[in-house]
Amino acid sequence: MSQNTVNFGKVAVLMGGLSAEREISLMSGQGVLQALRSRGLDAHAFDPAERDISEVKKDGFARCFIALHGRFGEDGTVQGALELLGIPYTGSGVMASSMAIDKVMTKRVLLSAGLPTPRYVLLQRDAQGTYGGADINAIPEQLGLPLIVKPSREGSSLGLTKVSDGAGLAEAIAHAARLDADVLCEQFIAGDEVTCPVLGTGTAARALPVIRIVAPDGNYDYQNKYFTNNTQYLVPCGLPDGEEAVIQQLVLQAYRTLNCRGWARADVMIDQFKRKPYLLEINTSPGMTGHSLVPMSARAAGISYEDLCLEVLKTAALDYQTPKGAAP
């Protein structure tokens, strides 16, 4: 059955939500909504911050396109609600979503599978609301300088700081802690920053073209991601021969290890001297704005924005869907 003949029914595009990435989610959701409507689908905006999620079922929606980012959208919570409601949704299921949103949990799973990721130290807030139990002064020696400090469960580079000397570490931790109680201190990998989207599920999953990101002064922050045109996105990526295929295979391994489905995007750093790639994180509900990278990579593969939205929507599923003909 082709995408054009699939009966998608009434589609809710979930956007907005309650996370720090609400503004970006609204931009993503509006793009998806317009794309689906342009292809004749009965698609409607649905903001879980303004309406109870149970209304998705009451309003007769047949499936949901999740364009939410961050907490309460990308972390398994809305996925669990839709499982209970029995409404298929795009992207990864409950467990994969809840693991992937947590950068430290992702690292633990990747490392258990022998996949490379930068070294790290996890700081967890104690009962007094401080990180007093951790030897913060030892972190630069453990990870080297510069190092990266960021919230464990946040996206879009929110709360991220590159620390060049030990004097700035405490302030960077406080900055990240405003967004999450768990703070990740991570080894800085100097080299090429790339990203690689994946479409599909299981053995049918395929990696799209790799994009190399060249940001002003190497600072790919929230502003440079979404609101300036100063960042270069190179696709074809222009990496040395064979490296793109290596990245694509590594990203597919990570995607399958975390049991992701439908679509996702993985961020990778390549050591400038050893040319070794390191997985940073996997985004299970990637951005779909005018600056977003999955549509850019898809376009390089000959997939239009509208077709990309349809392909993702076609994969909408439930973790606990009973196979047809099976006993309840």
Q: What is the pLDDT of residues 66-104, one digit of tens each?
A: 999 999 999 999 999 999 999 999 999 999 999 999 999
β-pairing, 147-151 with 182-187? antiparallel
Query: In terms of pLDDT, which residue wins out, 178 or 2?
Result: 178
Can you give the pTM of this predicted structure?
Answer: 0.92
**Burial of residue 285 (number of CB atoms within 10 Å: 0-12, 13-18, 19+):** buried
What span, in angstroms and rounded, lies between the C-alpha atoms of 111 and 246? 18
Pick from 276, 317, 311, 324: nearest CA to 90: 317
- Please give the angle made by the CA atoms of 111, 152 and 275, to the nearest 5 degrees: 45
- pLDDT interval class at 2 (50, 70, 90): very low
Pick from 311, 318, 315: nearest CA to 32: 311
Tokens of 71: 């907490």
Angle at which helices 103-112 and 243-257 cross, to 10°:
100
How confident is the model over 285-296, as a mean pLDDT? 95
Phi, psi of 286 (to 5 degrees): -65, 160
List the domains of the chain with CATH numbers: 3-90 (3.40.50.20), 99-116+190-313 (3.30.470.20), 120-187 (3.30.1490.20)
Q: Are residues 120 and 186 in contact, defined by beta-carbon separation less than 8 angstroms?
A: yes
The residues assigned a catalytic role are: 21, 156, 226, 265, 267, 281, 283, 287
| pLDDT for res 39 | 97
Core vs surface per residue 247-282: b (16+ CB within 10 A) or e: bbebbbbbbbbbbbbbbbbbbbbbeeeeeebbbbbb
